[in-house]
Amino acid sequence: MTTAPRDANVQRALQALEDGRSSVRLRAAMAVGSTPDPAFVGKLVERCAVEPEFFVRDMLTWALTRHPVPLTLPRLLRELRSERPQARSQALHTLSKIGDRRAWPAITRALLSDADDEVARSAWRAAVVLVPEGEEAGLAGVLATQLGRGDRKVQLSLSQALAGLGEVIVPVLRAAAAAGEPDARAHALATQRLLHDPGAGFGSVLEEAKRIVALTGAPQGGG
């Protein structure tokens, strides 16, 4: 007696997640998260890969966090191997919200240095959330290879991720600030400042760091 109405409700919700109107998709994602059902998980993950609206994607992620981890984790981990950048990025974002450290081995160096900036940014944030105790220094070393990358928004994301690891990043940043390309050195200096002064404006801190690098010239051993 109850199976048919439930199935009909599930089907309507699944269809609404693909509606052409973003407001309908948003309400559908909210409803799915409010009444979790294993039948929703596959469609939620699928929609994350293609949903064009940020607010809807965020609600899809919230809906996934409302479902049992044994159902969501395998699907999300498979998405990390997708050829679609948004699928990788949103899966990483969702994994960071779920916070289950069993996902840590899937946060590979390839994802942390992904050619797509949004994927890399999501990987940095997820890695800081999921890194096991005692492996922070190794993660900091990998993240430091991305210093100087991208525009100001990308660089701020990396600085925030590094700062989230705490004092373990100090020797890594010191080494990066003393060698390498000017952009990477300036980024390292700016990140050092943010670690000890989180309220500092990143734009002004980065510009100041660039001036310091320009004044000090090439690092020792540089050309």
- For residue 8, name the pLDDT band (cuts at 50, 70, 90): confident
Mean pLDDT of the chain: 93
Q: Helices (H), strands (E): how many in the chain? A: 13, 0
Q: pLDDT by residue (tens digit) across 50-84? A: 999 999 999 999 999 999 999 999 999 999 999 99
In this prediction, residues 86-107 reach a mean pLDDT of 98
Residue-range definition of the domain harbouring residue 179: 138-223
Average pLDDT over residues 11-21: 91
Residue 50 lies in a domain: no
In 37-196, which ranges are continuous DSSP H helix?
38-48, 54-65, 69-79, 85-98, 109-112, 117-130, 136-144, 152-163, 170-178, 182-196
Q: Which two tokens stand for residue 58?
A: 């965020």
In a domain, 184, yes or no: yes
Q: How many domains does the chain have?
A: 1
pLDDT on residue 5: 58
- From CA 45, how far away is CA 89, in angstroms rounded? 12
High-pLDDT (> 70) share of the chain, %: 95
Helix axes 170-178, 136-144, angle to 10 degrees: 20
Average pLDDT on 98-126 reads 98
In a domain, 120, yes or no: no
Distances (CA, A) of 193 to 52, 127, 162, 189, 216: 36, 22, 12, 6, 18
The predicted structure's pLDDT at residue 3: 58
pLDDT in tens, 115-165: 999 999 999 999 999 999 999 999 999 999 999 999 999 999 999 999 999
Q: Residue 122 domain-assigned?
A: no
- Domain contains 182: yes
Residue holding tokens 């940014």? 121
Half-sphere exposure of residue 17: CA atoms within 13 angstroms, side-chain side: 27
Indicate whether 128 belongs to any domain: no
Mean per-residue pLDDT for 184-206? Answer: 92
**Does residue 177 belong to any structural domain of this protein?**
yes
Question: Domain for residue 60, yes or no?
Answer: no
Which one, of 210, 125, 197, lies nearest residue 160 by Cα? 125
